[in-house]
Amino acid sequence: MKRVGLPLWIVSALLYAFLYAPIVVVIVFSFNAARYGGPWQGFTTKWYGVLLDSPEKLLAAKNTFILAFTSTMIATILGTLLGYGLSRYDFPGKKLFSWLMYIPVVIPDIVMAVAMLMFYALVRDSLGLFPLGMMTMVLSHVTFQIPFVAIVVRSRMVGMDPAIEEAAHDLGATSLQTFWYVTLPLLLPAVVAGAMLAFTLSLDDFVVSFFTTGPGATTLPILIYSSVKRGITPDINALSTLIVLVSVVGTIVATLLQRPRRTQGER
Amino acid sequence: MKKAQPTRAIRYGELLTRGGQRLRSAMTSGWGIAWVTLFLLVPLLGIAWISFMTRGTYGEIQWPATFANYQRLLGFGVLGFDSQYPTIILRSLVLGGGATLVCLIAALPLSFFIAGQPEGRKQIALTLVVIPFWTNLLIRTYAWQILLGQDSVLARLAVGLGLAEVGRPLYPSAFAVYIGMLCAYLPFLVLPLYTAVEKLDWSIAEAAADLGANRVQVFRHAILPQLLPGMVAGILLVFIPAIGQFVIPDLLGGAKTVMLGNAIQQQFGPSRDWPFGSAIAFVGMAVVMLGLWINTRVTAAKGEEGML
Amino acid sequence: MKKSLLTARTLVAALAMFTLVAACAQKPAAPEAAATPAAPVTAAATPASTAPTGTTGPCELNVFIWSEYIDPEIVKAFEQQNNCKVTLDLYEDNESMMAKLQAGGTSQYDIVVPGNYMVPVMVKLGLLAELRHENIPNLANLDDKFVNPSYDPANKYSAAYQWGTVGIYLRKKGNKPIDESWSILFDKSKQYGSFLMMDSIREMMGSALRYQGKAVNSVDPADLKAAAAILLDAKKRSQGFEGGVGGKNKVLGKAVDAAVVYNGDAVRGMADDKDTYFFVPKEGGVLWVDNLAIPAKAPHRDVAEKFINFILDAKIGAQLSNFNQYSTPNKAAKAMIKPEDLANPAIYPPADLIAKMEFVADVGDANKLYDEAWTQVKSK
């Protein structure tokens, strides 16, 4: 592998700085005493207090995390099975479906959001199901999460040496046993990676949630959007800072969990 | 045309009949496929259907079926002929394309940088690219409003370089919108591109250099073709969502222009014209299909299996 | 290898457990709130009349309302007086609210606050329940202008909540006299400085139409094209479009010199910063009135009617207007409004100016004209 020269270091450093600049701004301004996001007017932590005092923001936070966890759980299971199935078995129409599975990955959020909105509306008119709310949001999130998980799992499956599974079968394991004791453990890094990806997507999703949410089911991104439309108050900056903190900690923990396996030269 | 399939085949150590395979597929892929089909593919067909309906007086969806919505899209509007919608679509494509190009220019060096790190640091470098992505996009975009405000460091720098007038913020402007897009979509291009860079076979590049090619030629003929599938995947992951983006042009472009995303949102929101909104969305979908088709061709040509 | 496997599996298992617990804890909104206020409520809250969707169980109310529009103290007072739990869900524009109702919200919310031009549309679409006047005696408190209004004859479905205007909010430049006209935004030669317009179709189109002396609800394509041309020209010189509150905040934050805003927000802004000023331009403009209404399948219709009655009370009406600085439609409340508010032309414009202003009305099929005109403004 080529060594990284100085010009590349500089360019990359600039790019990283570019990516982190807005986050730094958000964190800094969460301590700004100015009420309307104007120039710096002194250091304060009062916005964190204001934040913790507002029930609708805390409710939105709760909704966001429950939504993310629930949908990630469902999507990970379905997506892993999908990724596994697509890489292992053939069925009529497989090519078409594989192709169709990529649609949620690339489609513009808003097209997907309005499609689902209309679907729920039509079903509700005829069958009375699907009032907008937490349930419709979970259904919608799972829908765009599944393909991402499937893609990650599938690419790992493709790279996996089939000899191990063959060996398991040769030694008398049933398919289920093979899957559970041999394949799945090997797949676990990909499954976890896919789950993390799905979790992030759900946590940050705005457009789909916006169109499919219902009463009492507001999530943080929706709340933040209304705030931005109204004029951001610094307590939203405080909220974002906390979210960043949680994300960073979560990512570090997940990375550390994956570390030991890497250095054992598994592949 | 059907390939002759053996009724029994040994796959991965197991003896399976064709029926057995189908059963397995149903048990594994079946759920996921059924879900996505029901909750996304069917609704997308629904959009196509609704786009041929008429908007009622109070915003309801009614018969008769009509081409009126598509006529409007082509420019035959109710206020006379106006090419606003073709312009909107074109502008969205340009914005998407421009944002993709900018992201590509930034992602290339970054991917090589990360791939060039020693083993332990690679993961960290990659994760560092992804972390900002965990912050809410709206917040990041709004933060750029602050960063580009009239008294900010960047604004003063621009004035100093003679690129801007004194006292004016750097947004709303096309420049600000592109910055916002770059910030939002860079990770999507870096991740697949990095995967491709990591798997690069440098021996080909070395061979080319040995045979007398200069650096540009080496890049163009030895490296670029290897990167192509990853690059195309990344480009799709940026271009198509970028076309439908409406929040960033709103917040950093002063809501002064209508993009495809804004147009759709306007129809499903204030104007309450779902049939027309569906027609616009359908056009968006057509672009997605086109993009996917291109991707399949490119990866098929390379003999690789999937997108990522 | 075993150890890290264990860790990863434990993580997955933990996630699964957490989700199961969370999913069980997360019941749909109504039963969750049922965990709170106790039994005595049931007896007190259900009135004698049995409504088709009567109140069963502890008292609750789901209110769907604009942000920053109701005094939290009023909500608390209602909660205490009726031993009820009130949940507020917020929206930023009428159309999102209606879209929510159409999408099933009619059976989830008890109170919504539509603008006047939405009311006939919502009635036609079957989204609103009739108000049973016998449960809302305080309707008598409404000012004559809002009793039996043209958009809702006999107040069958709605009761006025607050009304107001749309005008220009700006930062004063020293003691220079200000030309109180739309031309400081719409006329290049008289431009005041950097400005924002409101990201709202009817408000901006209506203002541009009044600037030319045309009707706010005109359906003449020529009028609309001319209005669109004015707005397009203004847009090119402007800093863009923002919501009303956003515009007010940008003026306060000194990011722009002027913005088109709703009068109530502007008045609160003026209280924060004495160097800012609001006025309704002399050519006139758009009038709006927001109304309390009950969705067709509201789960707590009786409580909702109680709530409307509560808001229409003279004292509460005054408290409301003193909080959000908008104009009250409640003639009994007027006596208790702060005198400086009553004298403030920004809140209660003089009669001759009101004569030049019109309420926005839904224009049915002609909506397409407005939509196209607005898209022209936004897309060129």
pLDDT in tens, C226-283: 999 999 999 988 888 887 777 888 888 788 899 999 998 899 889 888 899 999 999 9
Q: Element (H or E) spanning A149, and its range? A: helix A134-158
Are B269 and C99 an interchain contact pair (Cβ–Cβ within 8 Å)?
Answer: yes
Alpha carbon of A106: minimum distance to chain B alpha carbons (Å): 6
Nearest-angstrom CA–CA distance, B31 and B211: 53
Alpha carbon of A133: minimum distance to chain B alpha carbons (Å): 16
Chain C contacts of A149, Cβ < 8 Å?
none
SS (H, E, C) chain B: CCCCCCCEEEECCEEEEHHHHHHHHHHHHHHHHHHHHHHHHHHHHHHHHHCCCEECCCCCEECCCCCHHHHHHHCEECCEECCHHHHHHHHHHHHHHHHHHHHHHHHHHHHHHHHCCCHHHHHHHHHHHHHHHHCCHHHHHHHHHHHCCCCCHHHHHHHHCCCCCCCCCCCCCHHHHHHHHHHHHHHHHHHHHHHHHHCCCHHHHHHHHHCCCCHHHHHHHHHHHHHHHHHHHHHHHHHHHHHHCCHHHHHHCCCCCCCHHHHHHHHHCCCCCHHHHHHHHHHHHHHHHHHHHHHHHHHHHHCCCCCC
Nearest-angstrom CA–CA distance, B264 and B266: 5
Tell which residue, B75, B78, B70, has the closest CA to residue B48: B70
Chain A contacts of C64, Cβ < 8 Å?
215
Are A69 and C89 an interchain contact pair (Cβ–Cβ within 8 Å)?
Answer: no
Mutation target vs A (from B111, B134, B271; most A CBs, 10 A cutoff):
B134
Are B256 and C240 an interchain contact pair (Cβ–Cβ within 8 Å)?
Answer: yes
- Assign residue A59 a region (left: φ > 0; alpha: ψ between -120 and 50; beta: otherwise): alpha
Global pTM reads 0.78
**CB of C268 less than 8 A from some CB of A:** no
pLDDT above 90 (res C295): yes
Question: Token match 């999908």: residue?
Answer: A82
**Is A133:A213 a contact under the CB 8 Å cutoff?**
yes
Chain C contacts of B280, Cβ < 8 Å?
none
Nearest-angstrom CA–CA distance, A222 and B138: 10
pLDDT above 70 (res C44): no
List residues of C whose CB lies inside 8 A of any B CB. Answer: 93, 95-96, 98-99, 121, 124-125, 196, 199-201, 221, 224-225, 235, 238-242, 255, 362, 364-365, 367-376, 378-380
**CB of B238 less than 8 A from some CB of A:** no
| Two structure tokens written together for B81 | 């002929």
**CB of B264 less than 8 A from some CB of C:** no
| Two structure tokens written together for B251 | 């917040």
Chain C contacts of B80, Cβ < 8 Å?
221
Chain B contacts of C240, Cβ < 8 Å?
172, 253-256
Per-residue pLDDT of chain B (308 residues; tens, 9 = 90+): 445 555 666 666 667 777 777 787 788 888 888 888 888 888 888 888 888 888 877 777 777 888 888 888 887 777 777 778 888 888 888 888 999 999 999 999 888 888 888 877 887 788 788 778 777 788 788 788 878 876 677 777 777 777 766 656 677 777 888 888 888 888 888 888 887 887 788 888 888 888 888 888 888 888 888 888 778 878 888 888 888 888 888 888 877 778 888 888 888 877 778 888 888 888 888 887 887 788 778 777 665 544 43
Are C1 and A261 an interchain contact pair (Cβ–Cβ within 8 Å)?
Answer: yes
DSSP assignments along C113-129, one per residue: --BTTHHHHHHHTT-EE
> Taking all residues of chain C, what is their mean pLDDT, rounded to a whole number?
80
Chain A contacts of B32, Cβ < 8 Å?
78-79, 81-82, 85, 101, 146, 150
- Omega into B64 within 30° of 0, i.e. cis? yes
Are B33 and A101 an interchain contact pair (Cβ–Cβ within 8 Å)?
Answer: yes
Neighbours of chain C (3+ CB pairs under 8 A): A, B
Are B256 and C378 an interchain contact pair (Cβ–Cβ within 8 Å)?
Answer: yes
- Assign residue C174 a region (left: φ > 0; alpha: ψ between -120 and 50; beta: otherwise): left
**CB of A131 less than 8 A from some CB of C:** yes
> Strands C195-198, C258-262: parallel, antiparallel or unpaired by DSSP?
parallel
Question: Token match 């030269």: residue?
Answer: A265
The angle formed by the CA atoms of residues B58, B59 and B60, to the nearest 5 degrees, is: 100
pLDDT above 90 (res C209): yes
Give every residue of chain A whose pLDDT is below 70, as ranges.
Answer: 1-3, 35-39, 229-232, 251, 254-267
CA within 13 Å, CB half, A87:
23
Within a 10 A sphere around the Cβ of B304, how many other Cβ atoms? 15
- Cα separation of the two ends of chain A: 18
**CB of C102 less than 8 A from some CB of A:** yes
Are B256 and C375 an interchain contact pair (Cβ–Cβ within 8 Å)?
Answer: no
Nearest-angstrom CA–CA distance, C113 and C119: 9
Question: Token match 């009994």: residue?
Answer: C332
Residue C201 CA, chain-centre distance (Å), reads 15
Nearest-angstrom CA–CA distance, A161 and C3: 23
For residue C6, the model assigns a pLDDT of: 37
Alpha carbon of A260: minimum distance to chain C alpha carbons (Å): 7
Nearest-angstrom CA–CA distance, C323 and C342: 14
Neighbours of chain B (3+ CB pairs under 8 A): A, C
CA distances from B299 to B230, B305, C373 (A): 9, 7, 45
